[in-house]
Amino acid sequence: MCKTVDRHLSAAWRISSCLLLLSGPLTAVCHAQCTSPPTATISSIAPAAFFAGAGTQVTIIGSGFILPGDPNGCSTTLSITAGTEQVALSNVTVVSTTEMMAVVSPLATDPLEGATVSVNNPFVVLVRSAASESSADSSNSISADILPVPVIQYNGNTISGANATMPFAFVGQQIQLTTNTPSPEALSALPVPLTFPPANPPPGGSPPYQWQVSSANIGGYTVTPPSGLSTSSSAIAQATALTNPSLTTYWLPSGGGNHTGPITYQYCITLPSPGTRCSVPVQAKFTIAQPTDVSANIFDESFTHSDYPALETMKWSISIEAQAVSPSNQSGTLQSGQYQWVQLISVDDVESFGAKQLTCTGGTTASTPALDTQYPYDTDLLMSDAPAFTFTSSAQTGMNVTENFETYLMWNPEVSTSIWVPLGLVRWSAVGDDAYNSSTGQYTIVSGSAPAGTFAVVGLSEPTWSQAVNGPSIQSSCH
């Protein structure tokens, strides 16, 4: 309710809660208007960078901030602009005359760009001979940065985000992903220059780039086959590098059929205050195809012993035939790929007793695990082996053999830049013990049995080795 005022006054007055504009008909605007606020200034905002697509709690330090409930109707407003757009703000609170707090929420589509943070105390300018009101600002501003939501790309297509499609891949197929992560040069050129944290942060710190790859995977698999009878050979499986702005990985078989492989990514930056901050994680998903119904038939398992006065031989044999259904690609076309076998010797312990000379066929003194003879050991879905150990009778006593083998069924999808991956594993052994009978001049089997192979298909890693073994080689003791 407005108080009564003399109609003949020619100046502008604010009485009670009414703004009276005089000089002509009496006009009363009956709401409080701020006419003489203090000057608002801003000296800092922390953090001074906001990730797009996320809310960032910020603290603004300055002076002249007006607390809520000011009796003169004055208030401090906060605004953040990026280009021609206003950045969304929420929970704006004036804590004191020198501190404000707010949540800054740039759009998920905002690019890497600078922003202007402004505080102001709006006030009313009363103009004589005008039946209206106008305003002006006392303001101050400071710079800040907006950082983009990370985007994952595969073969030039965006595969992260709400509307992304799910790409398709085979186990063993190379997956190369890139992102839109700003470069160090782009960060340093922002209004508030930023940097990435160190690649090897201290305990509890965050690296600049962070990937997570679900389901079994590796970063690469390199095989150096032996040449001829050389024992120089190796197979190395590299872990997937998860702290680069791009990613290279290969999925390994998992379970019994097609499955989903989620990948997440985020990047982190270093601010003057309060330190390292990270973007929201984004996710991409692949449909991963692999051979199914993988099994193996183990047959022709035998153990034989030749009992001659002049020559002692223990021999084991085994055959393995695998079955598998090759997967189809996205269009339904069968992707047969190729199958092969790789055999390692995981335990190589052959002992001779006395002064006899031992001829080792299928075993050597090499450290384990070692590649057995050649790479691959066999091709296609069928393989056979027959390790044999011969002991001459130039002296007495006996021989003890323990040979453990790991025979891997491998598959390669035969697509661009693909690797061999394990589908199944047969573990089997050649074990026997004999002794020389000096009265009969013959050897007698103390123990020995046919190989007992077992087949596994779940949770396999790539076969790795540092050298190959070749027989025959003559050693006084082979182990």
* pLDDT of res. 24: 43
User: Which three-class secondary structure state does DSSP give residue 224?
Assistant: strand
Q: pLDDT above 90 covers what percent of the chain? A: 58
Whether the predicted pLDDT of 295 surpasses 70: yes
Each residue's pLDDT tens digit, 358-386:
444 444 444 568 999 899 999 999 999 99
Total residues belonging to the chain: 479
Could you tell me if 290 and 253 are in contact, meaning their C-beta atoms sit under 8 angstroms apart?
yes
* pLDDT of res. 477: 40
Average pLDDT across the chain, whole number: 83
Whether the predicted pLDDT of 4 surpasses 90: no
Structure tokens at 455: 């087949």
* Most confident range, picked from 167-181, 201-215, 256-270, 337-351: 167-181
Structure tokens at 422: 């394990």
**Predicted structure pTM score:** 0.81
Which ranges of 116-259 would DSSP assign to H, the alpha helix? 184-188
* pLDDT of res. 432: 87
When pLDDT is averaged across residues 290-298 and rounded to a whole number, the result is 94
Closest CA to 47 of 172, 138, 171, 142: 142
Least confident of 67-71, 190-194, 208-212: 67-71
Q: pLDDT above 70 covers what percent of the chain? A: 82
Domain boundaries, the chain: 37-124+138-147, 152-289, 292-475
Each residue's pLDDT tens digit, 300-357:
999 988 765 556 788 899 999 999 999 998 889 999 999 999 999 988 777 766 644 4
Distance CA 455, CA 427 (A): 7
Structure tokens at 158: 């965006």
Could you tell me if 79 and 85 are in contact, meaning their C-beta atoms sit under 8 angstroms apart?
no
When pLDDT is averaged across residues 65-92 and rounded to a whole number, the result is 92
* pLDDT of res. 357: 43
* CATH match for 37-124+138-147 among 2.40.70.10, 2.40.128.280, 2.60.40.10, 3.90.70.10: 2.60.40.10
User: Which three-class secondary structure state does DSSP give residue 188?
Assistant: helix
Whether the predicted pLDDT of 8 surpasses 50: no
- Give φ, ψ of 235 to 5 degrees: -140, 125
* pLDDT of res. 385: 93
Distance CA 400, CA 30 (A): 108
Distance CA 386, CA 392 (A): 20
